[in-house]
Amino acid sequence: MSHKVTLACEYCHSRNYSTTKTTQGRTERLQINKYCSTCEKHTTHSETK
């Protein structure tokens, strides 16, 4: 089963992306290196609540 999650930039806290994540066996938050249009560079985006 998968859930829809929102990813936010760790520097400017802007919520830029949404993706799906499987919940089976995963308890930690998702972290992905993506491009932030607000910061205009690649930054780490982490899963928000």
User: What's the confidence (pLDDT) of residue 24?
Assistant: 85
Q: pTM for the whole thing?
A: 0.83
User: What's the confidence (pLDDT) of residue 19?
Assistant: 93
Angle at CA 37, nearest 5°, toward 10 and 41?
65
CATH at 23: 2.20.28.120
Number of domains in the chain: 1
Decide: 38 and 13 in contact? Cβ < 8 Å: no
Q: Which amino acid is at 41?
A: K
Mind listing the pLDDT tens digit of every residue in the chain (49 residues)?
888 999 999 999 999 999 999 888 778 899 999 999 999 999 999 999 8
Domain carrying residue 34? 2-47
User: What's the confidence (pLDDT) of residue 5?
Assistant: 93
Decide: 14 and 7 in contact? Cβ < 8 Å: no
- Coil/strand/helix, residue 40: coil
